[in-house]
Amino acid sequence: MNQPKFIAGPCVIESAELLDEVARCLVGINQRLGVDIIFKASFDKANRTSLGSYRGVGLDKGLQMLSDVRSKYGLRLLTDIHEAWQAEPVGEVVDVLQIPAFLCRQTDLLVAAARTQKTVNVKKAQFLSGEDMVYPYRKALDSGAKEVWLTERGNMYGYNNLVVDFRNIADMRRIADTVVMDCTHSVQRPGAAGGKTGGNREFVPAMALAAKAFGANGYFFEVHPSPDDALSDGPNMLYLRDLEQVIKSLI
């Protein structure tokens, strides 16, 4: 049986020290458990709730910092893009380009990501069903992507909440070979923390196990050594120290 895919890292690049701390932890888990965790961090969070929220270090500095992680730790890399012009420079550095959920219908963005001939991970929009994801999948695959993954992250029903319909995972497995469960964004409470996103990280391990039961073969975790001090998505991020045990439960 193929080993599931794991993606983990901080929500946004805060500092080189944070990236180093997380990367060292991921390398240790990879060695102890025989897995291959892909390192994730965003150079820009272009969809923050408030204009005053921290967005990141920007494209040029962010790509250099991600490249440093690869050089020092040998980890594969994933980051997200928000505009089509970003695809080419990002594709020169990372292994997987991620399309944010709100943007998964943006044809130019999908095509640009696919033309890098890298793997493209498309997050399912909060307003789409699993079956709807056949169209973003085909856009990326037909435009030259090396491989296309689909990611479940919950559906928006308003009132600062997300609900996960795990049937979407089974539906998307009929479309794509790799379906990832975003175990941390799926416990978000969007806009529920006074101009910021809240969340319930205590449900993350159960989200992962439920997704496994429905056929997920990839798992996405945003992690931080001190989530309550994180500059983005802290309430729904997993403590870095808890990641290894959660992965053990899935393998």
Three-class SS of 101-147 = HHHCCCHHHHHHHHCCCCEEEEECCCCCCCHHHHHHHHHHHHCCCCE
Consecutive H or E run containing 179: strand 179-182
- CA 218, 206, 2 angle in degrees (round to 5)? 25
In the chain, domain spans: 5-250
CA distance 218 to 180: 4
For residues 164-202, one letter each, b for 16 or more C-beta atoms within 10 angstroms of the residue's C-beta and e for the rest, the string is bebebbebbbebbebbbbbbbbbbbbbebeeebbbbebe
What CATH number matches the domain at 5-250, 3.40.50.460, 2.60.40.1180, 3.20.20.70, 3.60.20.10? 3.20.20.70
| Residuewise pLDDT in 10s, the chain (251 residues) | 578 999 999 999 999 999 999 999 999 999 999 999 999 999 998 876 677 777 888 999 999 999 999 999 999 999 999 999 999 999 999 999 999 999 999 999 999 999 999 999 999 999 999 999 999 999 999 999 999 999 999 987 667 778 899 999 999 999 999 999 999 988 877 654 455 466 778 999 999 999 999 999 999 999 999 999 989 878 888 999 999 999 999 99
Number of residues assigned to the chain: 251
